[in-house]
Amino acid sequence: MASEQTEEHPAFHEVDPTKVGRVATRVRLRSIRLVQANALFKADPKMLDPGWGERVQGTFDAGVEVREDDHFEVIAFFTIKYWADRDGSQIESAEDEFGDIEVEAAFKLSYELVDPQGVSDDDLKHFAVYNATFNAWPYWREYAQSTTQRFGVPTLLIPLFVFPGPGTPKARHDETSP
């Protein structure tokens, strides 16, 4: 039986590795599909700083969309924004403000639960935020890089996804800032 997941999910730095592990040991990734994309380029290419990618503001999020007995789907969202006339320290809240360059994408990841016994909806939420983001990250990197290349600007290189560990700054995982 399918169930829609509408409850809140943990922030990346609040993920419980035990819950992630409970799902990770019982799951197979079946597919990753781009389901939504948006790109905006309104900057003057002649005025663009060659190091513009170092000033990009980025976010990511993921949540369980549908769960059935033996499979579930996750939507992973990624966004980058750049303002030609500001540096990153001047940005308070980038959510509602259009940038001079924006790239957004959402990917649907389908997973099979090989052994669904003992896997709770809460476990899936933690898995979605942590592991599904990691699984979709290479697709996001390629999309952002190829899209900015088509803009005719110096290509944006999204960094590798780094799992938090001892001594890893929290901010490194709350933003996709290259």
User: Is residue 89's pLDDT more than 60?
Assistant: no
Pairing of strands 71-82, 27-41: unpaired
Residue 127 resides in a domain = yes
Residue 176 included in any domain: no
Asked if residue 172 belongs to a domain, the reply is no
Answer whether residue 27 is part of any domain. Answer: yes
Q: Can you give the pLDDT at residue 2?
A: 33
CATH code: domain of residue 104: 3.10.420.10
Residue 27 CB partners (closer than 8 Å, separation 6+): 111, 112, 113, 114, 127
Q: Quick check: is 169 in a domain?
A: no
Question: Residues near 128 by Cβ (< 8 Å), separated by ≥ 6?
Answer: 9, 62, 63, 64, 74, 76
Give domain status of residue 177, yes or no: no
Residue 87, domain extent: 3-162
Answer with the residue of higher pLDDT: 114 or 54.
Answer: 114
Q: Are 123 and 22 in contact (CB under 8 A)?
A: yes
pLDDT in tens, 115-148: 998 899 999 999 999 899 999 999 999 999 999 9
Tokens representing 124 are 């899936």
| Domain count along the chain | 1
Taking CA atoms, 161 is separated from 2, 130, 164, 176, in Å, by: 31, 11, 10, 8
Note the pLDDT tens digit of each residue in 53-86. Answer: 888 888 889 999 888 889 999 999 999 998 877 6
